[in-house]
A and B are shown apart, each in its own frame.
Chain A
Amino acid sequence: MTDYYRLCYYAAICTDNVGVVARRLPSLMNLLEKVKLMTADEIGLALRGLAQEIVDHNGSGHEIALVGIRRRGVPLAERLARALWEIESVEVSVGYLDINLYRDDLSTVATQPIIQSTEIDFPMNEKVVILVDDVLYTGRTVRAAMDALVDYGRPKAIQLCVLIDRGHRELPIQANFVGKTVTTKEIEMVEVRLNEVDQIEDVLLVEKAS
């Protein structure tokens, strides 16, 4: 372990953010920041635009529920709910989903994912459930999320809202609402950083240093 790794590990243990360490460290180690894809202001604008699109597509919004996919889908869903309230004065239900129990790679993944809580407190039938996540890539997370949702009930419809679509789908999955579409290479990664989770706000295109 390098000293940096050890420092992050202890910091994470102290703040109880163990899940963050497992995901962040590979991102922070040996990464080259290539491009800033979005600034904090652009993220804010994109979310407001997405909220408007959701309303335009779904009518007044009385039957909408948002489900944020942990981790960063959660603050995005909460922000969208606030924006929907501001635009249409509609209070939409917000739920949180940990998809790790539904992953298709649990027997092969090197570090076993930490399971966080799923909270879906509202009845799903008769609602249009909009899954919210930060980045859409292979589509496997969304596949897992849909499997989880149908275990909770039978939504009227499931839609998908993402901040970034970076291409390279491995399953036939598409987003209904996209903040920004970006062309990326497979060796690159898209890092979304949000104030609620990372204490900084931007979207970066990064690459592993060779």
Chain B
Amino acid sequence: MPFNAKHLLSIENLSIEQIQLILATATSFREISKRPIKKVPTLRGKTVINLFFEASTRTRTSFEIAAKRLSADAINISVSASSIAKGETLIDTVRNLEAMAPDVIVIRHPSAGAPHQLAKRCTACIVNAGDGAHEHPTQALLDALTILDHKPTLKDLRVGIIGDIAHSRVARSNCLLLGKMGAHVTICGPPTLLPMHFDQMGPFPGSLTVTDRMSEALDGADVVMMLRVQLERQQEAFFPSVREYFGSYGLTPQRMNSAKRDAIIMHPGPINRGVEISSEVADGRYSVILNQVASGVAVRMAILYLVTGGREQREFGPES
């Protein structure tokens, strides 16, 4: 069954079949990163532009490596070094880039809905690498792939997402994806960092549990997902101090005792050691934080392959 979508804008618009197709394709792409020659000619001659309006190590490098491993040409544009600093609008920037015929534009932007605006106006395939606090679909997909490396299925899995939920696009995408695939998600954070309308965060009403007690979120959890405390987003004081935050909401080995014995610990990165997670846990046996990064390349390769999928009509037949 083909992917049938030109853009990857959100988890909200993905069907369960599409999610399964992405995960299955990503699994097959994984072994490419283990070969001596880490390249296949699949997207040879295609141009992928990484248009990042916000700082990023993991995501941008991951997309760049994914494109290059598929033999595509990857171009990175970061806002500080570009004309956006001179006041060029988003649409103008993209129209100018489009004139150079890229095949895929990967965009990360501080405004929610920016990728959707582009998708309406561009002929290139648009991939959302994070839009404001709205969604980060590739992160949720790579999180799912990592979970499936360690757990047999997502259905009925108990997942706790803990941290600055209100400002987290990672939390939103994960709630949607995990909810769609049948997991039980509990979101947790200080009351000041929980969104008002948390019911709308899941794929359907009642699909999420909310708490401000970390012990409730960790109780019997199969997966614990810690979110970074986004210090740079906050002008107001959402919590008294970093130390106070770590005291109530930091993940320590003692707190992990109430989770399942083989619970895995995840974090989208970058981690703030001693703020939301202790070093002992982040570097411990059950931490899969680095596996997430490896899965990220495979998932992004799968997405680049699927959105650029062949579209012209031709008889599909056996031809060996």
Contact = CB atoms under 8 A, between A and B. Distances in A.
Contacts of B25: 114-115
A111 B2 contact: yes
Nearest to B40: A101
B319 A137 contact: yes
B310 A106 contact: yes
Contact of B305 (A115, A141, A147): A115
B232 interface: no
A1 to B, nearest CB: 12
A60 interface: no
Q: Select the residue from A26, A115, A138 with max chain B CB neighbours within 10 A.
A: A115
Interface in B23-80: 24-25, 27-29, 31-32, 35-37, 39-42
A141 B319 contact: yes
A53 interface: no
A22 B316 contact: yes
B28 A118 contact: yes
Interface in B7-26: 17, 21, 24-25
Contacts of A9: 1
Given A117-B28, A151-B40, A108 B314 contact: yes
A133 interface: yes
A23 B305 CA distance: 19
Given A98-B28, A137-B320, A110 B310 contact: yes
B317 interface: yes
A44 interface: no
A112 B315 contact: no
B309 A112 contact: yes
Interface magnitude class on chain B: 20 to 34
A207 to B, nearest CB: 12
B28 A109 contact: no
Contacts of B36: 152-153
A26 B319 contact: no
Given A102-B41, A115-B25, A151-B37, A110 B312 contact: yes
A69 B320 CA distance: 10
Given A27-B318, A108-B310, A152 B35 contact: yes
B238 to A, nearest CB: 44
A147 B316 CA distance: 22
Interface string A87-120: 0000000000010011001111111101111110
Interface string A182-210: 00000001010000000000000000000
B37 A147 contact: no
Q: Select the residue from B21, B31, B317, B318 with max chain A CB neighbours within 10 A.
A: B318
Given A111-B2, A116-B28, A152-B36, A147 B320 contact: no
7 contacts: A23-B316, A111-B310, A112-B3, A119-B31, A135-B318, A151-B35, A152-B37
Closest 8 CB pairs of A and B: A112-B309, A141-B320, A101-B40, A115-B28, A109-B310, A101-B42, A151-B37, A117-B28
Interface of A: 9, 13, 18, 21-23, 26-27, 69, 98, 101-102, 105-112, 114-119, 133-142, 147-148, 151-153, 189, 191
Given A112-B305, A138-B320, 7 more contacts: A27-B317, A108-B312, A110-B316, A112-B2, A114-B24, A136-B320, A151-B37
Interface of B: 1-3, 17, 21, 24-25, 27-29, 31-32, 35-37, 39-42, 302, 305-306, 309-320
